[in-house]
Amino acid sequence: MTGSALLHPPREWSASLAVLAGGAAHTYGDLDARSRLRAQHLLAEAATPDLDGARVGFLMAPGSEYVATQWAVWRAGGIAVPLCPDHPARELEYVMDDADCSALIGAGETGRRMEGPASERGIPFHDVSATNEGRLALHSPDSGPLPRITEDRPAMILYTSGTTGRPKGVVTTHGQIEAHITSLVGAWRWTRDDRILHVLPLHHTHGIVNALCCPLYAGATVEFAGGFDPAVTWERLASGEISVFMAVPTIYAKLLHAWDAAEGPTRRRWARGAGALRLMVSGSAALPVRVFERWEEITGHRLLERYGMTEIGMGLSNPYDGERRPGTVGQPLPGVDLRLVRPATGRVLADGVEAMDPGASGEIRVRGPMVFSEYWRRPRETEAAFVDGWFRTGDEAVLEDGYYRILGRRSVDILKSGGYKISAIEIEEMLRTHPAVHDCAVVGIPDEDWGERVAAAVVPAPGGSLRSDAIAALLDPWVRERLARYKVPRAWRCVEDLPRNAMGKVQKPAVLVLFGVGAGPLHSPPG
């Protein structure tokens, strides 16, 4: 049996506070009972004793409903497919169809968006809003065995952008998620006394595993802020009730802007409060050194930067106790085998904390019990992602004085904006289906706060306008209807032709020049 502390919280935690959201408090006992009831309901509706790996998509605002649903799907033997409330219908439908969901669950206004898609697909929709909970209890058997959940069973599919077209589903098992959790719980010293302020989206590994599953595994409390708002976040950090905070670099940058704009007494109160936290982590994108330094200057707190990826969980972390070095991501986390390899030759340049070829940079490759099993229904891509059992991350790094430093992505077609991974190819393919677009190229413009911002150079279809503002006005709303808003280009240029080399291949560094960005290393992390 695995995930025991998550799926079967110890009895002595029953009265402890697990989740705080929107002013309501939920104990471990409450979540345990609700998730059991929901699991039984799911099984009764499916008329089976075990969902046996059926995919269940769910959509709801961050809060106790989310946790009870995630646990329910797991306890019923299903695979959890969390959906993002901010996504437009087409993006949601892509995920539910690619994952081939056999049921959808929703709560509140947000969740009712699932009702239509469920009926179109002829699959059940379960409304688990609080108001519906009583009805659910009536229609479900009040006891009965739940299936045995072994560690090799698939637990979750998270969608991640890659170098090819639409996002791929990353499948992790219960054992892989538990290995990810236990590594972090140990390294970052989670205890029952902790309370995390949760501001991250719940369709990616950072928000789901690091900031939600870890504290719940340890018996701590998760306080959902209901999304990210700089002033609300500062107030809660300064409340004296929060011990842990985790965010992407853009959030720290936005918090610094809010601090700069605040009055003297507010500044002092915020800074003093935040400085008293036990742990503040940054990850999902490069933390600019100046943000690290400014944060320390203001709060006295040295942010702990770590490196991870949907496919591997967390790989590298600055030490909890030792020196946290700005611009670096520390050393391999417990249980993680990590090395640097020169892809062309396979030569190992560094292994763990040992450098074979000091100063040489190479691709990060990872092995270990937390590494994912497969891309959902994409055997060829799964096979191509591994070499001799090692996962190829596509990230370039160097080991310097015992600390890893991320140099950037090997592919120019993967962008990171606000901590979200974005595929240039996906946006280009979408844009090319618009009748006003003959061709296009998408790049990431370096940006102080966002890391990168999405930019699109467009060759209009014959007879179309060559004005950048006209193409922006036409395409912006069209893209918003189809893709998540963080994928919408923020800058547009109309051009007669895209810059190409002699082979006819689009030259992305030259496309960047169209946006006023000098040619140079494309994806070096800022700072």
Shortest CA distance to 338 belongs to which of 411, 420, 403, 248?
A: 403
Alpha carbon distance 155, 52 (integer Å): 10
Q: Pairing between strand 337-342 and 361-367?
A: antiparallel
Q: Which is nearer to ligand MLC, 156 or 309 (CB)?
A: 309
Select from 64, 70, 173, 205 the one that contacts ligand MLC (CB under 6 A): 205
Alpha carbon distance 475, 99 (integer Å): 29
Select from 285, 415, 427, 488 the one that contacts ligand AMP (CB under 6 A): 285
62 binds, among ligand AMP, ligand MLC, none (CB under 5 to 8 A by kind): none
Select from 485, 500, 505, 519 the one that contacts ligand MLC (CB under 6 A): 485
Taking CB under 6 A as the rule, does residue 301 contact ligand AMP?
Answer: no
Q: Which is nearer to ligand AMP, 125 or 391 (CB)?
A: 391
Cβ atoms within 10 Å of 469's Cβ, excluding its own: 10
Close Cβ partners of 367 (under 8 Å, ≥ 6 residues apart):
337, 338, 389, 390, 391
Residues 30-69 that bind ligand MLC (CB under 6 A): none
* Rg value, the chain, Cα: 23
195 binds, among ligand AMP, ligand MLC, none (CB under 5 to 8 A by kind): none
406 binds, among ligand AMP, ligand MLC, none (CB under 5 to 8 A by kind): ligand AMP
- b/e sequence 15-29, b meaning 16+ C-beta within 10 Å: eebbbbbeeeebbbe
Taking CB under 6 A as the rule, does residue 479 contact ligand MLC?
Answer: no
Select from 188, 307, 404, 486 the one that contacts ligand AMP (CB under 6 A): 307
Taking CB under 6 A as the rule, does residue 330 contact ligand MLC?
Answer: no
Taking CB under 6 A as the rule, does residue 284 contact ligand AMP?
Answer: yes
Contact 103, 76 (CB under 8 A): no
Close Cβ partners of 255 (under 8 Å, ≥ 6 residues apart):
230, 233, 234
Amino acid occupying residue 357: D
Place of tokens 């959890």: 80
**CA terminus-to-terminus distance, the chain:** 45
Taking CB under 6 A as the rule, does residue 251 contact ligand MLC?
Answer: yes
Taking CB under 6 A as the rule, does residue 434 contact ligand AMP?
Answer: no
Residues 312-341 that bind ligand AMP (CB under 6 A): 329
Q: Which helix (H) or strand (E) holds 45?
A: helix 28-46
Taking CB under 6 A as the rule, does residue 365 contact ligand MLC?
Answer: no
Number of H helices, E strands in the chain: 18, 28
Amino acid occupying residue 323: E
Taking CB under 6 A as the rule, does residue 252 contact ligand MLC?
Answer: no
Q: Which is nearer to ligand AMP, 16 or 163 (CB)?
A: 163
Smallest gap from residue 248 Cβ to ligand MLC (A): 5
Place of tokens 């370096």: 446
- The residues pairing with 490 across neighbouring beta strands, listed in sequence order, are none
Alpha carbon distance 115, 119 (integer Å): 6
Please provide the DSSP assignment of 268-293 as one string: HHHHHHHHT-SEEEE-SS---HHHHH
Size of the site for ligand AMP (CB under 6 A): 20
Taking CB under 6 A as the rule, does residue 221 contact ligand AMP?
Answer: no
Strands (E), 28-124: 55-59, 79-82, 103-106
200 binds, among ligand MLC, ligand AMP, none (CB under 5 to 8 A by kind): ligand MLC
Shortest CA distance to 159 belongs to which of 243, 241, 78, 57?
A: 57
Taking CB under 6 A as the rule, does residue 404 contact ligand MLC?
Answer: no
Smallest gap from residue 416 Cβ to ligand AMP (A): 6
Q: Quote the tokens at residue 395.
A: 């990230």
409 binds, among ligand AMP, ligand MLC, none (CB under 5 to 8 A by kind): ligand AMP
Taking CB under 6 A as the rule, does residue 26 contact ligand MLC?
Answer: no
485 binds, among ligand AMP, ligand MLC, none (CB under 5 to 8 A by kind): ligand MLC
Taking CB under 6 A as the rule, does residue 418 contact ligand MLC?
Answer: yes
Smallest gap from residue 517 Cβ to ligand MLC (A): 17
Contact 442, 456 (CB under 8 A): yes
Taking CB under 6 A as the rule, does residue 309 contact ligand MLC?
Answer: yes
**Which residues are near ligand MLC by CB under 6 A?**
200-201, 204-207, 228, 248, 250-251, 254, 283-284, 308-310, 417-420, 450, 485-486
**Which residues are near ligand AMP by CB under 6 A?**
160, 204-205, 283-286, 305, 307-310, 329, 393, 395, 406, 409, 416, 421, 525
